[in-house]
Amino acid sequence: MIVRFGYVAMSTIVENASPSRTMTATNFQKLDDREAAVRRLERIAEENLRNTLRLLRHNRAHDVHLYRLSSKLIPLLSHELLSGWDPFPVLEQPFRDIGDYAKEHGMRLSFHPDHFTVLSSPREEVLRNSYLDLDIHVRMLEEMGLDERAKCNIHIGGAYGNKETAAARFVDSFKRMTPRIQRRMTLENDDKTFTARETLEVCEQLGDVPVPMVLDIHHHQVNTGGDLLDEELWTRICRTWANQRIPPKIHASSPKSEKDPRGHADYVNADQVLTFLQLASQTGTPKLDVMLEAKMKDGALFRLMDDLRQKEGLRLLDQATVEIL
DNA sequence: ACCTGTCAAGTCTGG
DNA sequence: CCAGACTTGACAGGT
């Protein structure tokens, strides 16, 4: 089994390369000249996109083929203060540059809209904003010229006292979206509410619109729902990735401490990751992508590779890829 | 240069 | 019904 590793949004190695610079809404309002303020937002967005491209070059130099884009590339986009603002024409070239580079080097890019995107919400306004947010994320992938293999990953959302009705509401809200958005989505189990099996069941319920599931092995560890992560569960998860033209993806991170097991540690424990990789390899998974969610970002990735180098039963293919033997 | 409280957005808990 | 926690990188304003 071939396993590629990636990291999220920012680098702890490349300096001054934030893809998430922003401006607060209060500060935007303080500026007298609205036109100038809007141009400043556009400059920040350009800089975020330029830094994203810098990070992709860094990734290329270190064989990292997997990267999650920052959701904060364009500050205050979709904020009501900026209704009517369309920054995309100005940002056309920087978006395309990112997409071109990613395609040229076979990189897998994704987004993870944050926890304000909640399709299980009973509140109409929350749902409407969630739709808008997803639309924007998909729009950015389209501006990059990336095909449907570039996904947006979200959680099921809140339970509101009744997980079953919440899940049903999620399914309903999901089905109301256009195929254009639906085909870009993946669903991930969370650390408090929807377990791996429950998330998988939602994916399976959406059957006619195939929605792959991203398994987060750390979330599963702190929210098992009593289920064992075994070959059967993994095989079912893999089935959601059939016909996607991309390998299944998982998220990996380690508990911050015993006191805060849900928090993310600086680095990732190699043995825990390896245990899962061996399970996946045994089920006959040919390829797997692993997104690391550690505080030290790419620093954690390279440390993990160093740690894996010492282990039996695998070999390093390059700086960010291993083969499980 | 460095430190601290605050930030657009949601949900859950506890008072 | 409302305040605070949760969680995170970055701002904003202070020293």
For residue A29, say whether its CB is under 7 Å from any atom of strand C: no
For residue A116, say whether its CB is under 7 Å from any atom of strand B: yes
Report the percent of chain A where pLDDT is more than 70.
100
Mean pLDDT of A93-118: 97
pLDDT of A192 reads 95
* Span of A7-11, A33-37, A47-51 with lowest mean pLDDT: A33-37
Q: Is the pLDDT of residue A260 over 90?
A: no
For residue A56, say whether its CB is under 7 Å from any atom of strand C: no
For residue A115, say whether its CB is under 7 Å from any atom of strand B: yes
pLDDT of A207 reads 79
Q: Could you tell me the distance in Å between the CA of residue A43 and the C1' of nucleotide C15?
A: 30
For residue A132, say whether its CB is under 7 Å from any atom of strand B: no
pLDDT of A258 reads 84
Are A99 and A140 in contact by the 8 Å Cβ rule? The answer is no
Q: What angle do CA A217, A219, A220 make, to 5 degrees?
A: 60
Q: What angle do CA A15, A257, A118 make, to 5 degrees?
A: 75
For residue A70, say whether its CB is under 7 Å from any atom of strand B: no
pTM tops 0.95, yes or no: yes
For residue A113, say whether its CB is under 7 Å from any atom of strand B: no
Angle at which helices A163-175 and A196-205 cross, to 10°: 40
| CATH number for the segment(s) A2-324 | 3.20.20.150
pLDDT of A60 reads 98
User: What digits encode the pLDDT tens for the residues A118-173?
Assistant: 999 999 999 999 999 999 999 999 999 999 999 999 999 999 999 999 999 999 99
The secondary element (H helix, E strand) that includes residue A74 is: none
Quick one: which residue's CA is nearest to B9's C1'? A116
Residue A46 CA, distance from chain mean position: 22
Q: Across all residues in chain A, what is the average pLDDT?
A: 96
Are A113 and A137 in contact by the 8 Å Cβ rule? The answer is yes
Q: Which residues contact A87 (CB under 8 A, 6 or more apart)?
A: A41, A42, A45, A74, A77
Q: Is the pLDDT of residue A17 over 90?
A: yes
Residue spans per domain, chain A: 2-324
Q: Could you tell me the distance in Å between the CA of residue A129 and the C1' of nucleotide B9?
A: 9
Q: Is the pLDDT of residue A259 over 90?
A: no
pLDDT of A201 reads 97
CB atoms within 10 A of CB A81: 12
Residue A78 pLDDT class (50, 70, 90 cuts): confident
Mean pLDDT of A207-212: 91
User: What digits encode the pLDDT tens for the residues A276-315?
Assistant: 999 999 999 999 999 999 999 999 999 999 999 999 999 9
Tokens of A175: 């089905």
Residue A252 pLDDT class (50, 70, 90 cuts): very high
HEC string for A183-200: CCEEEECCCCCCCHHHHH
